[in-house]
């Protein structure tokens, strides 16, 4: 008899029972203290835990413009396939992690609000979301484990004040169980339990919250000060953060001023329980469920923080500097959490000009989160959203995302004040391209003179919206190309709500024209390379060139294959190739010697030379071959209605090369050939 496995059994088989047991560990107070002795890291503060969480993902150090930088892998969001990856912001993220590092060490940063400041769409919310979600996941790992406690009363237990307790009462602020050690004994116990040399020795843990403090005091009276009997009611359990369950992760968002109430941060009286406990000042009749309470030992995010009512900002002052909150009708209550806010520039300017908010300004560490100013990093944003895995049914032609990203970055760059640079050249320098007479020091100087670079310009969201528009348009059946997206971008400028003036709008249009011209140059070069990609012809041309260079450098004559006569090296051929890569007449001897030395060096290593070996020579050969062949292909005929069979066959070969080598599909390859043909037709081809 065969038994069929049910779906519920299949699902259950996927469960990791060992992990479940670990995440739901529960033990006595004594068992927890033994656990602390073995691993003091479980007692870390919120800042220490966040810093360790970021480091646990690893980091890469690298040099950029003579400056040592660090890339923290945590912000690549590799665990979630880069869903919330942050690109091109290594410097701001380094500053942020350094704040966490200083706060973890107790150097004062833990008494500040971390304020992420920058333009709309610059990843402020994404960074906060990454930290919150990362902390959730970290608390599920053995390295990120932390614990809290509950009071357990198996039977109804009468207290000295006449009330009774029964069942399980969880610490409302998910507090560290070590707080149950009375303050006057705490230092002596901790010195033995987790000495400083063990690492992560707890700092001042503060007092128990009002509810637990009340229960502790009542039990101490009941048992005549016998702590062992009090601790018998304590059960310690593993604590796993969850924003959805409101454990360890809090989020506060401004609402309509009439509906806002500061009790949303600190909690409020539970009027139903007043009848049970007889007073609204009994801590058991209070719901410690405000966002500050929920986020204790974890992270609280303030969305658009400076849009908050002033009353809320006052609550922030105590929460940051003193690590205390003031619930209604109760004394100040200790909290331990990372406070992160984010805001846009208009609100921050208001804060700067408001003399009544000096206290908040003084307790704020501002981290600028600008737009990306490096083209290769901006492209990654769009490649993440628009790729073959996510976009089905439409092909994105090569350079489509690159051109959109190029324009977006150019809008964020300031006009160079000197060096006779264009914005496009500046973009290329920032992206690692070398330009004659420009050093890394010049690039550093360019960055220094543009202090607000990246804080203004076009948001990635705007570009993403326009790419989406292009994808759903019916102007193209199977693919979208750069001009479709650039047309959408230009049309969108007319109604862009964040563009302050017509001058700015005009500048953005001019930059878009620069991008169109750059695209023309790129595709002309690609079509040239596709036309001249006849490997046999290039190899033949290369062999001819090398034979002539060899004869020239050794002051020999070369044998003419057709006449059999020895002749002088073909200077016209050599110069025709060298001029394609801007080798001047005065440098031709040096270049030819370099080529021969290069071939000799390869031979010593047992390697053979071919036309692909030297990148500069390859480019020169491709351009020379294109010049020789372009007339035979007659690209100009593409724009006419009649194309002869022989030309069509040659064009089909070029189209196939564009598809195989450069990533086009049939439709976009035809489009780009028609476009380049139209350029040739109007006589714009480069000489």
Residue 450's pLDDT is 85
- What does the alpha-carbon distance between residue 465 and residue 329 come to, in Å, rounded to a whole number? 50
The pLDDT of residue 684 is above 50: no
- What does the alpha-carbon distance between residue 596 and residue 604 come to, in Å, rounded to a whole number? 13
Burial of 244 (0-12, 13-18, 19+ CB in 10 A): exposed
Nearest Cα neighbor of 356 from 326, 322, 314 is 314
Are residues 312 and 262 in contact, defined by beta-carbon separation less than 8 angstroms? Answer: yes
- What does the alpha-carbon distance between residue 105 and residue 615 come to, in Å, rounded to a whole number? 51
Tell me the pairing of strands 395-396 and 479-480. Answer: parallel
Domain map (residue ranges) of the chain: 14-39+143-239, 40-109+121-138, 375-529, 533-624
Region 244-259 average pLDDT: 83
Radius of gyration of the chain (CA): 35
Are residues 653 and 536 in contact, defined by beta-carbon separation less than 8 angstroms? Answer: no
The pLDDT of residue 256 is above 80: no
The pLDDT of residue 636 is above 90: no
The pLDDT of residue 252 is above 50: yes
Region 442-460 average pLDDT: 87
Are residues 370 and 454 in contact, defined by beta-carbon separation less than 8 angstroms? Answer: yes
Q: Name the more confident of 318 and 90.
A: 90
Region 123-128 average pLDDT: 94
Q: Which DSSP helix (H) or strand (E) runs through 126?
A: helix 124-138
* Span 70-103, pLDDT tens digits: 999 999 998 888 889 999 999 999 999 999 999 9
Region 123-140 average pLDDT: 96
Alpha helices in 494-534 (DSSP H): 502-531
Burial of 602 (0-12, 13-18, 19+ CB in 10 A): middle
How far is CA 133 from each of CA 112, 143, 575, rounded to the nearest angstrom?
22, 16, 62
Q: How would residue 639 be classed by pLDDT, with cut points 50, 70 and 90?
A: very low
The pLDDT of residue 624 is above 70: yes
- What does the alpha-carbon distance between residue 615 and residue 501 come to, in Å, rounded to a whole number? 46
Q: How would residue 199 be classed by pLDDT, with cut points 50, 70 and 90?
A: low
Q: What is the DSSP string of 44-65?
A: --HHHHHHHHHHTT-EEEEEET
Dig out the tokens for 38 from the structure.
Answer: 């073995």
- What does the alpha-carbon distance between residue 89 and residue 117 come to, in Å, rounded to a whole number? 13
Nearest Cα neighbor of 464 from 391, 369, 532 is 391
Burial of 413 (0-12, 13-18, 19+ CB in 10 A): buried
Burial of 410 (0-12, 13-18, 19+ CB in 10 A): buried
Are residues 513 and 495 in contact, defined by beta-carbon separation less than 8 angstroms? Answer: no
Contact partners, residue 120, CB within 8 Å, separation at least 6:
344, 459, 461, 498
Which of 64-73, 141-150, 210-219 shows the lowest per-residue confidence on average (mean pLDDT)?
A: 64-73
Which of 315-329, 581-595, 643-657 shows the lowest per-residue confidence on average (mean pLDDT)?
A: 643-657
Dig out the tokens for 42 from the structure.
Answer: 């479980």
* Span 367-386, pLDDT tens digits: 999 999 999 999 999 999 89
Which of left, alpha, beta for 106 (phi over 0: left; psi -120 to 50: alpha)? left
Tell me the pairing of strands 324-325 and 299-302. Answer: unpaired
The pLDDT of residue 685 is above 50: no
Residue 96's pLDDT is 97
- What does the alpha-carbon distance between residue 176 and residue 196 come to, in Å, rounded to a whole number? 18
Region 386-408 average pLDDT: 90
Dig out the tokens for 504 from the structure.
Answer: 């700015």
- What does the alpha-carbon distance between residue 195 and residue 497 come to, in Å, rounded to a whole number? 59
Mean pLDDT, the chain, rounded, equals 87
Q: Which DSSP helix (H) or strand (E) runs through 367?
A: strand 364-368
- What does the alpha-carbon distance between residue 511 and residue 508 come to, in Å, rounded to a whole number? 5
Q: Which DSSP helix (H) or strand (E) runs through 341?
A: strand 338-343
Q: How would residue 261 be classed by pLDDT, with cut points 50, 70 and 90?
A: confident
Q: Which DSSP helix (H) or strand (E) runs through 343?
A: strand 338-343
Nearest Cα neighbor of 298 from 137, 98, 67 is 137
Q: Which residue has the tokens 């880069």?
A: 82
Identify the three-state secondary structure at position 685: coil
The pLDDT of residue 324 is above 90: yes
Dig out the tokens for 562 from the structure.
Answer: 């057709």
Residue 687's pLDDT is 42
Long-range contact pairs involving 271-277 (C-beta distance under 8 Å, separation at least 24): 277/163
Identify the three-state secondary structure at position 481: coil
Are residues 44 and 146 in contact, defined by beta-carbon separation less than 8 angstroms? Answer: yes
- What does the alpha-carbon distance between residue 416 and residue 290 come to, in Å, rounded to a whole number? 50
CA atoms 337, 342, 343, 348: torsion sign: positive
Dig out the tokens for 466 from the structure.
Answer: 């326009």
- What backbone torsions phi and psi does residue 287 show, to the nearest 5 degrees? -95, 105
The pLDDT of residue 580 is above 60: yes
């Amino acid at each position: 008899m065969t038994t069929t496995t049910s779906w519920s059994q299949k699902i259950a088989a996927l469960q990791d029972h060992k992990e479940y047991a670990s995440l739901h560990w529960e033990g006595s107070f004594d068992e927890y203290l033994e656990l602390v002795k073995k691993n003091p890291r479980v007692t870390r503060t919120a800042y220490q835990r966040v810093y360790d969480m970021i480091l646990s993902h690893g980091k890469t150090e690298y040099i950029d413009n003579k400056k040592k930088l660090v890339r923290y892998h945590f912000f690549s969001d590799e665990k979630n396939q880069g869903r919330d990856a942050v690109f091109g912001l290594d410097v701001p993220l380094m500053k942020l992690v350094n704040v966490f590092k200083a706060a973890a060490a107790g150097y004062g940063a833990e008494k500040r609000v971390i304020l992420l400041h920058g333009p709309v769409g610059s990843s402020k919310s994404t960074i906060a979301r990454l930290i919150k979600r990362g902390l959730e996941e970290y608390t599920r790992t053995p390295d990120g484990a932390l614990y809290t406690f509950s009071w357990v009363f198996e039977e109804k237990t009468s207290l000295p004040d006449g009330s009774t307790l029964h069942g399980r009462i969880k610490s409302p602020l998910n507090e560290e169980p070590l707080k149950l050690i009375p303050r006057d004994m705490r230092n002596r116990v901790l010195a033995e339990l987790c000495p400083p040399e063990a690492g992560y020795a707890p700092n001042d843990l503060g007092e128990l919250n009002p509810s637990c403090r009340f229960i502790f005091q009542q039990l101490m009276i009941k048992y005549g000060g016998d702590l062992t009997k009090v601790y018998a009611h304590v059960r310690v359990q593993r604590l796993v953060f969850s924003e959805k369950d409101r454990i360890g992760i809090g989020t506060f968002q401004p609402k309509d001023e009439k509906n806002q109430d500061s009790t949303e941060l600190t909690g409020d009286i539970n009027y139903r329980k007043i009848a049970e406990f007889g007073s609204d000042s009994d801590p058991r009749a209070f719901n410690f469920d405000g966002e500050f309470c929920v986020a204790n030992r974890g992270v609280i995010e303030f969305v658009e923080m400076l849009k908050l009512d002033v009353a809320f900002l006052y609550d922030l002052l105590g929460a940051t500097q003193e690590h205390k909150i003031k619930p209604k009708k109760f004394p100040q209550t200790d909290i331990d959490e990372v406070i992160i806010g984010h805001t846009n520039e208009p609100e921050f300017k208001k804060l700067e000009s408001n003399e009544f908010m000096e206290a908040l300004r003084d307790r704020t560490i501002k981290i600028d989160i600008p737009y990306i100013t490096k083209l290769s990093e901006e492209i990654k944003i769009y490649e993440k959203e628009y790729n073959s895995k996510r976009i089905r049914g439409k092909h994105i032609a090569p350079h489509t995302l690159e051109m959109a990203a190029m324009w977006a970055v150019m809008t964020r760059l300031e006009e160079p004040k000197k060096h006779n640079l264009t914005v496009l050249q500046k973009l290329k320098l920032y992206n690692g391209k070398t330009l004659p007479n420009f050093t890394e020091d010049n690039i550093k100087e360019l960055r220094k003179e543009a202090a607000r670079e990246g804080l203004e310009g076009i948001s990635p969201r705007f570009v993403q919206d326009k790419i989406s528009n292009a994808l759903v348009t019916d102007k193209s059946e199977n693919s979208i190309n750069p001009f479709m997206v650039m047309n959408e971008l230009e049309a969108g400028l007319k109604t862009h709500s964040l563009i302050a003036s017509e001058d700015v709008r005009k500048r953005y249009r001019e930059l878009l024209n620069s991008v169109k011209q750059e695209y023309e140059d790129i595709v002309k070069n690609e079509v040239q390379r596709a036309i001249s990609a006849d490997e046999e012809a290039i190899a033949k041309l290369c062999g001819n060139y090398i034979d002539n260079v060899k004869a020239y450098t050794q002051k020999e004559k070369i044998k003419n294959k057709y006449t059999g006569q020895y002749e002088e090296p073909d200077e016209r051929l050599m110069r025709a190739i060298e001029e394609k890569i801007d080798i001047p007449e005065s440098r031709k001897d040096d270049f030819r010697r370099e080529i021969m030395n290069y071939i000799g060096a390869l031979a010593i290593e047992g390697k053979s030379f071919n036309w692909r070996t030297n990148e500069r020579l390859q480019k020169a050969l491709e351009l020379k071959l294109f010049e020789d062949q372009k007339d035979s292909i007659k690209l100009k005929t593409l724009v006419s209605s009649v194309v002869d069979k022989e030309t069509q066959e040659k064009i089909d070969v070029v189209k196939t090369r564009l598809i195989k080598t450069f990533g086009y599909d049939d439709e976009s390859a035809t489009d780009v050939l028609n476009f380049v043909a139209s350029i040739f037709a109007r006589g714009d081809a480069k000489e």
